Amino acid sequence: MKVLQSLLLVLALIVIALVVAVIPGGQTLIGKVLPYLAFAVFIGGFIAKVVGWSRSPVPFRIPTTAGQEESLPWIKPNRFDNPSTTFGVIVRMLLEVTMFRSLFRNTKAEIHDGPKLVYGSSKYLWLFALIFHYSFLTVVIRHLRLFLNPVPGFVQAISFADGFLQVGSPSVMISGLTLVLGVLLLLLRRMIRPQVRYISLVNDYFPLLLILSIAVSGILMRYFLRVDIVSVKQLIVGLATFHPVIPGQVGAIFFVHLFLVCCLMAYFPFSKLMHMGGVFLSPTRNMANNSRKVRHINPWNDPAIKPHSYADYEDEFREFMKEAEIPVEKE
Amino acid sequence: MYDKEKIIPGLIVFVLIAVFPILYNRGNAGHIPNPEKPKAARECVRPVQDMRESHMQLLIDWRTDVIRDNGARYATAAGGTRYARSLQLGCMKCHDSKRKFCDECHNYAAVKPYCWDCHIEPKENM
């Protein structure tokens, strides 16, 4: 049901793009105005979201004890899974951001005959997420060839590696196929596993389907409904140099693709996709577990409120305590 | 705002990456490709827009058809021009300079077609 709602939303966006691309002035709207608006919402929303998060105080070190904490000298600590130094935290963060170690530790719970509850390792999410994210990254870097003039070497190198199978013309890009594969795997996981399906909402399915529609429209444009790539690059470089133009004849499929990308950018800061910035602010990932070495003071403590020892407390309430027959240390 | 000294540099890095194309181009759209058009020829094998969009598919279809399936080596364009279905004997009869024709757009769009893995690249005075 929720997946159908998301699908309808994405289809509605595609229909809107198709209609706007053919009405007079519509191509100007999608090609010259919308990208700027979407980009501004993306950057502004992203910053606002991160600044909003940064206003929340984090009172304690929140370690996730996936490894031995540093304690006595003869007990070997796990430096990266339970780091006590900034360097350890940086390594843990790098491993998290580039290799998704939290997902690697994902578990599943199953009920067997007995009834017996069994927990087991579940690596699917980790594997699918790796396929998806690295494909997406490669696709984004490859697209820089349409933004940058002249095209720098690293973009050409990645495009070359991506197309090295030399299948067909234009060459099939591996990352395009694996991106679709990754999205489909993540989508199927959500739809097939009952536990995940139960907690999935429209805002879980919608970004997946939106990204799928972007990937499919891109693949259609590259291999089937060809567009003039030189005009496309002129349009995009025009945007990046603040002299937007709509050159030559560019097919409607390009405007559908661009419109969907703009939707993704504008939707990004208000969605779960903000985990891109949020991963760096995860308290369980970005804090050293040094609670036993360093005294951490609550950031919201009012400095006017002084520490109140038990002796002071007893001094203040001795009469009442005696009256209530509570034992006191000092008579 | 807590952890200012880490969050603000992080956000600056994010914005710099996001606006990288704007910084890289510095407002200059650069060289716009202007492939040299043949002076003598009347018509191309397909309409101009078709060629702009899908000449690479036409070429690979010719390759498969002529080289692998022993297909026809010659064909006739809509306007009656007879042409060889071949890169060097067909296309480059009129578009005789790789550098002034092919490379113009291919460099612009960072496309490296593997035509010249098998064909011998024409020597041109650079």
The per-residue pLDDT for range A136-175, each reduced to its tens digit, is 999 999 999 999 988 999 999 999 999 999 888 889 999 9
Q: Which of residues 200-259 of A touch B (CB under 8 A)?
A: 226-231, 233-234, 237-238, 240-243, 248-249, 251
CA distance B56 to B51: 8
Q: N- to C-terminal Cα distance for chain B? A: 59
CATH of the domain at A135: 1.20.950.20
Residues A323 and A225 in one domain: no
Model confidence at B126, pLDDT cuts 50, 70, 90, reads: low
CA distance A243 to B22: 11
Percent of chain A with pLDDT over 90: 65
* ipTM attached to this prediction: 0.91
Q: Is the pLDDT of residue B13 over 60?
A: yes
User: Which range, A9-13, A81-85, A249-253, is most confident?
Assistant: A9-13
CA distance A1 to chain B (A): 36
- Please tell me whether residue B25 adopts helix, strand or coil conformation: helix
Q: Is the pLDDT of residue A279 over 70?
A: yes
For A209-249, the pLDDT digits (tens) are: 999 999 999 999 999 999 999 999 999 999 999 999 888 78
Residues A318 and A187 in one domain: no
CA distance B66 to chain A (A): 15
For B91-105, the pLDDT digits (tens) are: 988 898 888 899 999
Residues A308 and A296 in one domain: no
Instruction: Give contacts of B113 with chain A, Cβ < 8 Å.
Output: 169
Which of A167, A228, A286 is best to mutate for the B interface (most B CBs within 10 A)?
A: A228
Locate the chain A residue with the closest alpha carbon to B22. Answer: A240
Whether chain A has a CB inside 8 Å of the CB on B114: the answer is yes
**The pLDDT value given to residue A5:** 94
CA distance B75 to chain A (A): 21
Residues A232 and A322 in one domain: no
CA distance A74 to A65: 19
Residues A331 and A250 in one domain: no
The tally of domains found in chain A comes to: 2
Cβ-contact A145, A102 below 8 angstroms: no
CA distance A41 to A123: 35
Q: Is the pLDDT of residue A130 over 60?
A: yes
Model confidence at B125, pLDDT cuts 50, 70, 90, reads: low
For A172-205, the pLDDT digits (tens) are: 999 999 999 999 999 999 999 888 999 999 999 9
∠ CA B1-A307-A284 to the nearest 5 degrees?
Answer: 40
Whether chain A has a CB inside 8 Å of the CB on B10: the answer is yes
Q: N- to C-terminal Cα distance for chain A? A: 71
Determine, for residues A148 and B25 on separate chains, whether the beta-carbon distance falls below 8 Å: yes
CA distance B90 to B80: 15
Whether chain A has a CB inside 8 Å of the CB on B2: the answer is yes
Whether chain A has a CB inside 8 Å of the CB on B21: the answer is yes
**The pLDDT value given to residue B105:** 92
Determine, for residues A229 and B109 on separate chains, whether the beta-carbon distance falls below 8 Å: yes
Residues A78 and A123 in one domain: yes
Q: Is the pLDDT of residue A269 over 80?
A: yes
Return the structure tokens found at A309. 């020892």
Q: Is the pLDDT of residue A62 over 80?
A: no
Residues A111 and A258 in one domain: yes
Residue carrying structure tokens 């945007």? A239
Whether chain A has a CB inside 8 Å of the CB on B118: the answer is no
Locate the chain B residue with the closest alpha carbon to A53. Answer: B1
Residues A48 and A140 in one domain: yes
Determine, for residues B2 and A155 on separate chains, whether the beta-carbon distance falls below 8 Å: no
Determine, for residues B3 and A42 on separate chains, whether the beta-carbon distance falls below 8 Å: no
Residue A212: give the domain boundaries.
Answer: 2-300
Residues A52 and A182 in one domain: yes
Please indicate whether residue B84 or residue A65 has the higher confidence score (pLDDT).
B84
Residues A255 and A315 in one domain: no
Q: Is the pLDDT of residue A317 over 90?
A: yes
Instruction: Give contacts of A148 with chain B, Cβ < 8 Å.
Output: 21, 24-25
- A vs B, Cβ pairs < 8 A, gives 105
Residues A293 and A308 in one domain: no
